[in-house]
Chain A
Amino acid sequence: MAARPGVECAPRYAKVRMSYRGHETVDHTADMGIRGWGQTPAEAFEEVAAAMFELMVNAAGLAPSRTIRISREGSDLVELLLEYLNGLLSEADVAGIVPFKVSVGALEEREKKWIIEATAEGAPAAGAPGRLLVEVKAATYYGASVRERKRGMWIAQCVVDL
């Protein structure tokens, strides 16, 4: 099901029993929707980042060799999601790597702001010829949402500009 602007969407296979965490891409005419879900917001954020980086690199069998760390904040979870995804893209670009393994160390509300601390492991872009796919320019607010669909299932999604 395509993401609608400003409208939160349930995962496409809402009536099918889902794995407790996972990710997928969602059709969009010009670019691509990404969606991650998990038992906590942190897991959903890890999964949606995985969906994003799967657009960029085929990492099957690739061993991570470098790590980047980011720390971002947002006034709400949607802003945090965008800051986090775009932060990963930016820092990975500066480091010259394509990440494919993201871990969220902390995701919490502090003093009326949401903060996230995450690491991403990857490999140098120059060292992965033939595995590089499409460049993600940015994560956008189009269709962006972070919500608890039911107890113990959090979904994070947005559309990325390719």
Chain B
Amino acid sequence: MARVELRKVHDYLWEIPKSGEMNVPGRIYADRASIEFLIAEEKSKEWDALLQVRNVACLPGIQKASLAMADIHPGYGFPIGGVGAFDLDTGVVTIAGVGFDINCGVRAMAVGLTREEVEKRKEDLAEALFRIVPAGIGSTGSLRLTMEEIDEVLLRGAPFVIERGYESADDLAYVEEGGAVEGADPSCVSALAKQRELKQIGTLGSGNHYLEVQYVDAVYDEQAASAYGLSVGTVVVSIHTGSRALGHQIGTDYQSVLRRASEKYKIPVREAELVAAPIKSPEGKRYISAVMAGINCAFANRQAIAHLVRKAFKGVFGAGGGDIRTVYEVGHNNLKFERHTVDGVEKELLVHRKGATRAFGPGSLGIPDRYRAVGQPVLVGGTMGTSSYILVGTEKGMAETFGSAVHGAGRRMSRKQALREYRGDTIIAALEARGVIVRVHSTQGLAEEAPGAYKDVENVVAIMEGALVSRRVVRLRPMVCVKG
């Protein structure tokens, strides 16, 4: 197996020097311990993550560097935590940089109740959320759509479901892109994808998707926290989900399209999933339009779930329990047209973020007016029942990472190993002993998502802060966790 050469840039940044067929260097945000974990055994699976960084660096039109955030681990073609930005004329779009869960992301909402008020009723709240928010395999939502209406969802995203009663419109100013991107074309999405989605708007999914009720237990950046309306004790609800079956189907539908395009346009395929098409080719344009539709679907999905969360809170706490505002919503499996500076020239690029979150710094357009002076909130989910973080983007991050940050802790243990080491019922008991109420549709799924199966989110966040490309604002601790 080919070795990957690494050199240390500073304590929190390592580089794969540009060589051979690489068009740019690879850059990995990591400390020494996490780099040593990645290269510990020559035949270890973790070698693949570094090879993937290098393979992405070989893609045509890639700008500056093939990047990996601190939660790097092996993905499909792209590493998880991978960021690649491409010139629109010379660059490519790759399915590996988006994945199957298009616009998987997080919405964080602040609740107008005290932590003490929620603690007293958290068992009831857990039951209400578990009952009201559909989750798990085969779950269906309350919004039933026709094939014509699903096209509206793909074009209009969150605003469509708000018009159907899934309030509220006030959320949209704090949702990335206002809850809908341009460029979606439902005709580029298969009928099968739409059929699968007809009953899935407003469902959580399973695996690492979750709904958590949390509280702020630490503030690191007073100015940013104040801008976001957060302080110690603020109750927050975090929703982690994506585009559901529609996103999955778009991914599978376009695998063969982009495989053929790679051959047609002579783009070397260095790993089976790292297939691509020139951005301006017919195949590239169709895939991008389909992804934009998937992005809008995820926005609609999280808006619908947000409404159900409000309903659950009102059911438990009365009318006052529904005073819930969106702090921010942002995706971490995405394709975005963004303007960035490369070699002193500002240009529009197509940015892939695969398990990496957009993290725009202060002064950036495209973030809410109220946050512009401090920068965009970055929502980082911790492992189940452990800490989560809200970070903020920085100017250095804009310069070095196209305004990107981590999305979570990253796995360090396979699911099979997690099943050997952990049991769902034991995890539930351990969390409840710490005051975290868990409701789950699959205890096996819970074992696979055991906190011990993931890297330490504290370390991952600290690496990015050490590199000055993002900064902690608040830490969140869980009170209730609902999983599929």
- Chain A contacts to B: CB under 8 angstroms: 2, 4-6, 25, 27-32, 56-57, 79, 82-83, 86, 89-90, 93-94, 96, 98, 124-126, 128-129, 132-135, 137-144, 159, 161-162
26 residue pairs of the A-B complex, CB under 8 angstroms, read A5-B48, A6-B272, A27-B45, A27-B417, A29-B411, A30-B74, A32-B415, A57-B137, A79-B256, A82-B252, A90-B252, A94-B196, A96-B140, A125-B138, A126-B140, A137-B207, A137-B248, A140-B76, A140-B272, A141-B76, A141-B273, A142-B272, A143-B272, A161-B76, A161-B99, A161-B248
Q: What CA separation (Å) do A2 and B43 show in the bound complex?
A: 10
Asked whether A90 and B192 contact (CB < 8 A) given A133-B444, A161-B76, the answer is: yes
Name the contact of B442 in the complex, choosing from A133, A140, A159 (C-beta under 8 A).
A133
CB atoms of A29 and B74 under 8 A apart: yes
CB atoms of A31 and B415 under 8 A apart: yes
Asked if B292 is at the interface (CB within 8 A of a chain A CB), the reply is no
Asked whether A82 and B415 contact (CB < 8 A) given A134-B206, A134-B207, the answer is: no
CB atoms of A29 and B252 under 8 A apart: no
Q: What CA separation (Å) do A142 and B412 show in the bound complex?
A: 19
Measured CB to CB, the closest approach of chain A to B225, in angstroms, equals: 32
- 8 Å CB interface, B406-463 against A: 411-417, 441-442, 444-445, 448
Name the contact of B76 in the complex, choosing from A27, A94, A135, A142 (C-beta under 8 A).
A142
Give the residues in chain B near A90, CB-CB below 8 Å.
Answer: 192, 196, 249, 252
Name the contact of A133 in the complex, choosing from B73, B137, B255, B416 (C-beta under 8 A).
B137
Give the residues in chain B near A28, CB-CB below 8 Å.
Answer: 45, 74, 414-415
Q: What CA separation (Å) do A157 and B355 show in the bound complex?
A: 25
Give the residues in chain A near B73, CB-CB below 8 Å.
Answer: 29-30
Name the contact of A32 in the complex, choosing from B136, B412, B416, B445 (C-beta under 8 A).
B416
CB atoms of B272 and A5 under 8 A apart: yes
Name the contact of A138 in the complex, choosing from B195, B207, B251, B444 (C-beta under 8 A).
B251
Asked whether A29 and B249 contact (CB < 8 A) given A134-B442, A137-B101, the answer is: no
Q: What CA separation (Å) do A86 and B190 show in the bound complex?
A: 14
CB atoms of B416 and A25 under 8 A apart: yes
CB atoms of B46 and A29 under 8 A apart: yes
The A/B interface has a contact count, at CB < 8 Å, of 121
Residue of A nearest to B355 (CB): A30
Give the residues in chain B near A57, CB-CB below 8 Å.
Answer: 137
Measured CB to CB, the closest approach of chain B to A91, in angstroms, equals: 8
Q: What CA separation (Å) do A125 and B442 show in the bound complex?
A: 13
Give the residues in chain B near A129, CB-CB below 8 Å.
Answer: 441
Give the residues in chain B near A98, CB-CB below 8 Å.
Answer: 137-138
Q: What CA separation (Å) do A89 and B137 show in the bound complex?
A: 12
Give the residues in chain B near A96, CB-CB below 8 Å.
Answer: 138, 140
Give the residues in chain B near A132, CB-CB below 8 Å.
Answer: 136-138, 441-442
Name the contact of B252 in the complex, choosing from A86, A135, A159 (C-beta under 8 A).
A86
Measured CB to CB, the closest approach of chain A to B374, in angstroms, equals: 33
- 8 Å CB interface, B196-223 against A: 196, 205-207
Give the residues in chain B near A138, CB-CB below 8 Å.
Answer: 100, 248, 251-252
Q: What CA separation (Å) do A141 and B255 show in the bound complex?
A: 9
